[in-house]
Structure 1
Amino acid sequence: MGEFQELIRNFDKIRDYMRDFYIYGFKSRSDFTHKSARTYDNEKRRIESYIGEYMKWEYTKSGKNLFISMDCSKVPVNPLYAAWKSKAFTNNDIMLHFYILDALKNKEIFSIDKLTDVICKRSDQIFDIQTVRNKCNEYHTLGLIAAKKQGKSLYYSLSPDNFEHMLTMAPGLSDAVKFFQGATAFGEIGSFIMDNQNTLNGLFSFKHYYAAHTLEDAILLDLLSAIRNGQAIEFLNYNESGTRISTLDGIPLKIFISAATGRRYLCVYKTRTKRFFNYRLDHIKAVKTLGFCNDTKKHYENLMKNLPNIWGVGFGGESRMEIVCMKLSINEETEAYILERIVREGHDGELIRLEPNVFLYTKEMFDSNDISPWLKTFTGRIIQLEGTNQIVIDRFYKDIKRMKEMYGN
């Protein structure tokens, strides 16, 4: 029987479990069917050790449902960052980490042979030269140590580009890191730096803070790297219910972020169908690059030309555009702020005054499904709604009718 370990080897496993059971799913122990009940218990214990104070539960017919609950505006550091700090390591990993940095701490410069000798002498243990070299090369890639070739040999030293050195050059950098860890993607990097400096965030809080999206930052990094390098990709994508996974490919062009939900989407150009598509990042499992694409710039320019014609992330199922016309009753004297809001939020749609206190808003787009939530915010002011996609218009009126039945006149 395997012994429970708090640390993890594969982040995807904890990412999927955290997302499906604690953020989106509100599932119970009986819903866990991938492996044994013991696996469920082990994963639950890991997550409790990371974010125990934010875990809540409620009893339903299906059993005890666990979920994460927090007031993001009052959380100084995203508690889900703890999952990124739980990677398992071997004895050699942790021992060499301290021995190498200790050997180089006084601005020492060593060849790999000399460095290995120093480590073996100080630790009273025997380390293979190739093992030390591999660890040094790893740390050189990470920027922790510098490597300079002299003759035929590489000589290693601590990298001068450390945070302490940068603080002397920019004293306000520590405060910038506190802002960065909460305001941007890859905020876990700022959290790691704050841990290293033993500092806390007492300066910044965010009204709209989407803590759960850190779970897909590894996928985001792979995608941004592919976009920067102009590479086509192949990726695994789950369907909405998470019951089916598909292997897809395309040319990644841009990452879209919803201002309403913080949800992130990958925009790709599908070479086979010659169309743009958007996929939710939290549905993408893994990304593999396929090589450089010569047409990336051309497809990106075409995407930029098409952006004014999408409301959300939908490019529609057909090539023709869809039109939505909304006639509104707005008191020009007391509700001028409504007109300002339409201009601000209306994606450059046309707003004209038909008569006193009556206005017509018209917008052309690829997929009018995306505008429906925004249209419903004008309920009570809409005189008439028309559009070329009759399914969307009928659904709108059906929803209004259902609302009337539920709440009365």
Structure 2
Amino acid sequence: MAYRELIKNFARIRSYMREFYVYGFKSREEYTEKSVRSYDNERRRVESWLGEHMSFHQDAGGKNVFLSMDSRRIPHNPLYKAFKAKSFTDKDITLHFYILDLLADGSALSAGEMTDRICTVYLSRFTDAHTLDESTVRKKLKEYESLGLLRAEKSGREVLYRRTDSEHPALDSWEDALAFFSEEDPLGVIGSFLMDALGRSFDGFRFKHHYILHALDSDILCELLLAIDERRAVELTLQSLRGGKEYQRTVCPLKIYRSTQTGRQYLLGYHYRGRRMVFFRLDTIQQILPGNTEKQFEDYLALQTRFDGHLWGVSTGTDRRLDHLEMTVRYGPGEEFILQRLWREKRHGTVEVLDEQTCRFTADVYDASEMLPWLRTFTGRILELKCSNPAVTDQFYQDLKRMADLYGGGGDAVQ
């Protein structure tokens, strides 16, 4: 089969890009899921989009290809290019122009009328033209209706289709906003498409923390947001990151969480079979099948709000019991920014000012171990740290001891 640059199944290319260029550094010989030819075809596709950002290194195991880019130096997310490639057959492109041309005068036609006119107006002029049946035309009309290119109208027993032409919005005045949105928003790929409509490149922004890799989940994220907006249950097909095994979960999607530290995205949903709230990483979701409208959506949303009140990150612990944590902090004169940090970063915790230079932070969370990286940033100012889960404080002080052993110093160098 001849190689084609365009793609029909984005789930496959997403999986391939993650496996080889995001997670992996795999060589050609390590690609065992499909044939070596499949590897070469997928590699050429990715190179056509990301060639200037690809690097490789050679070792005894072979040539390993990977992505290499500095997010501070690139004005646009190059991974969006993967969404702008799509395969089509000769019949697809033929029908595209025939349908839009026949409806260009503003008329509305049924699938049968459209088929007859295509045959008489266009195909009759060719001696070797391929034939079209009404069912093929009807499928294409329904596809274009779902894409918003056509509008369906009921006329008796027939369904008529007409173009949805409208004036293009003036995007020039939105250039700055679109440029920022396309790089900063989790669904920035939409902004990238709108920027393409402007016909020029804008590179006035640079981002220190630019989580570009999660752009590969844009289609998954969009489907989940639509399901939340329509209050629908969904069946998720997920793939384990460890064993690669696929499994299904039926949930009521409620909220999307995004880490400000890593950019990683999670879905929080009510798992019907488990009868509890569960987090799912978006990069483990392979497919989404929309279900029925959820009549109890408001009840689940209220449950999510209460559940959220004791989250620090996305971990819920092993038994859903709350860990109570207290941290007493002392800051010196001119270090009021420490208190300001606590107020700003306390999330669902509380801050109590004890005196002019002492305050206490308190929180009740499902998994206090998630707080350890944040707690360590107050090293040197912590007077007391207590937690109902002793493993958390033990881990904290063990880390301090290892740091003291590693770097040395006096007896009061680490507190």
Q: TM-score, normalised by structure 2?
A: 0.86
Query: Quick check: 1:273 aligned with 2:278?
Result: no
Q: How do residues 120-139 of structure 1 correspond to structure 2 at under 5 angstroms?
A: 120=123, 125=129, 127-128=131-132, 130=134, 131-139=136-144
Counterpart residue number, 1:167: 169
Q: How do residues 61-210 of structure 1 correspond to structure 2 at under 5 angstroms?
A: 62-105=61-104, 107=106, 111-113=113-115, 115-116=117-118, 117-120=120-123, 125=129, 127-128=131-132, 130=134, 131-149=136-154, 154-161=159-166, 165-167=167-169, 172-173=173-174, 176-210=177-211
How many Å apart are 1:191 and its aligned residue? Answer: 2.7
Distance in structure 2 (CA, Å) of the matches to 1:73 and 1:383: 39
CA contact (8 A) 2:330 2:358 kept: yes
Counterpart residue number, 1:260: 261
Secondary structure in 2 aligned to 1:361? Answer: strand
CA contact (8 A) 2:323 2:367 kept: yes
Counterpart residue number, 1:389: 389
CA distance 1:266–1:379, change in 2 (3 Å):
same
Distance in structure 1 (CA, Å) of the matches to 2:115 and 2:213: 46
Q: What is the aligned-residue identity percentage?
A: 39
Counterpart residue number, 2:8: 9
CA contact (8 A) 1:235 1:249 kept: yes
Distance in structure 2 (CA, Å) of the matches to 1:239 and 1:387: 33
CA distance 1:155–1:149, change in 2 (3 Å):
same
Distance in structure 2 (CA, Å) of the matches to 1:218 and 1:166: 24
Q: Partner letter of residue 128 of structure 1?
A: L
CA contact (8 A) 1:112 1:154 kept: no
Q: Deviations over 1:67-87 (max 9, x none)?
A: 212232433322111111222
How many Å apart are 1:215 and its aligned residue? Answer: 1.1
Distance in structure 2 (CA, Å) of the matches to 1:277 and 1:400: 33
5+ residue gaps, structure 2, are 410-415
Q: How do residues 232-247 of structure 1 correspond to structure 2 at under 5 angstroms?
A: 232-247=233-248
Out of 356-365 and 293-302, give the one that drifted further.
356-365
Out of 304-313 and 378-387, give the one that drifted further.
378-387
Q: Deviations over 1:320-359 (max 9, x none)?
A: 311112232311x221111101110011423334456343
CA contact (8 A) 1:277 1:314 kept: no
How many Å apart are 1:23 and its aligned residue? Answer: 1.2
How many residue pairs get matched?
403
CA contact (8 A) 2:312 2:348 kept: no
Distance in structure 2 (CA, Å) of the matches to 1:407 and 1:243: 41
How many Å apart are 1:205 and its aligned residue? Answer: 4.0
CA distance 1:98–1:207, change in 2 (3 Å):
farther
Counterpart residue number, 1:47: 46
Distance in structure 2 (CA, Å) of the matches to 1:309 and 1:259: 18
Q: Partner letter of residue 391 of structure 1?
A: A
Distance in structure 2 (CA, Å) of the matches to 1:58 and 1:404: 38
Secondary structure in 1 aligned to 2:244? Answer: coil
How many Å apart are 1:147 and its aligned residue? Answer: 4.1
